[in-house]
């Protein structure tokens, strides 16, 4: 009598695991909380994608994109509709951070800094057309402050907006990615194993 061996189910890379679904709302809350603190202190950075980067490192690009998009949707409903305009930027951040994670970017702080540099460049470039089209090049956040400072140095408007957006995003994402890598380096092995992570090095 022959037994038929059925292949084990292999989860699709385009699906979100149950653990990731449980992690996403907590990451959204983290984004909102840190973003509110930064806004209250009027710092020239955002730090409101820390939860998105954390989800990217733990659960991949799709879960990270969902986290970023959801964060801006909630902010758009609770704070200002202008946040909804930046949903494409949050998708870029989540997707890029997730792909960076698959390449091992969060296994050490130096790798995370390099990933943050690339993610910041992509996010800054993606946000410039939105800032110019909808806000005339100046927003109420940290980027707007930098833009005004650059304009005072007689830099052309579009160039000032580009330099401000990219420079702020690069600093912001490098800090966020390095912080996430440092956190992952201190995760207990059993928790990291639940997300299929190798034990990171400092």
Looking at every residue in the chain, the average pLDDT score rounds to 85
Check whether 147 has a pLDDT greater than 80: no
Query: Which pLDDT band holds residue 137 (cuts at 50, 70, 90)?
Result: low
- Dig out the tokens for 102 from the structure: 């698959």
Rg (CA), the chain: 19
Per-residue pLDDT band at 113 (split at 50, 70, 90): very high
- What's the confidence (pLDDT) of residue 140? 60
pLDDT digits (tens, 9 = 90+) for 52-110: 999 999 999 999 999 999 999 999 999 889 899 999 999 999 999 999 999 999 999 99
Q: How confident is the model at residue 199 (pLDDT cuts 50, 70, 90)?
A: low
Question: Of 19 and 70, which is predicted with more confidence?
Answer: 70
The rounded distance, in Å, linking the Cα atoms of 123 and 45 is 13
Spatial separation of the C-alpha atoms in residues 198 and 200, rounded to whole Å: 6
pLDDT in tens, 78-93: 988 989 999 999 999 9
Return d(Cα 36, Cα 61) in angstroms, integer. Answer: 25
Question: What residue spans define the domains of the chain?
Answer: 18-194
Residue 202 to residue 92: CA distance in whole angstroms: 27
Residue 108 CA to residue 111 CA, distance in Å, equals 5
* Helix residue ranges per DSSP H, 81-108: 82-85, 87-102
CATH entry 3.90.320.10 includes domain 18-194: no
For residues 122-132, average pLDDT: 89
Integer angstrom CA distances of residue 106 from 25, 27, 50, 59: 22, 17, 13, 12
């Amino acid at each position: 009598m022959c037994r038929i061996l059925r292949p084990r189910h292999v989860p699709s890379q385009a699906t979100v695991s149950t653990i990731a679904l449980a992690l996403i709302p907590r990451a959204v809350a983290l984004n909102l909380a840190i973003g509110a603190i930064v806004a209250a202190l009027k710092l020239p950075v955002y730090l409101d994608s820390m939860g998105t980067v954390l989800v990217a490192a733990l659960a991949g690009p799709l879960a990270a994109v969902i986290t970023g998009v959801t964060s801006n949707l909630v902010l758009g409903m609770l704070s200002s509709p202008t946040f909804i305009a930046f949903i494409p930027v949050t998708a870029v951040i989540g997707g890029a951070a997730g792909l960076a994670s698959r390449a091992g970017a969060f296994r050490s702080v130096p790798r995370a800094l390099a990933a943050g540099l690339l993610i910041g460049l992509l996010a800054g470039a993606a946000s410039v057309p939105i800032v110019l089209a909808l806000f005339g090049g100046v927003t109420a956040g940290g980027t707007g402050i930098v833009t005004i400072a650059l304009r005072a140095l007689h830099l052309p408007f579009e160039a000032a907006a580009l330099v401000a957006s990219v420079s702020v995003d690069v600093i912001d994402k490098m800090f966020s990615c390095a912080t996430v890598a440092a956190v992952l380096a201190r995760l207990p092995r059993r928790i990291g194993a639940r997300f299929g992570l190798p034990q990171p090095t400092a």
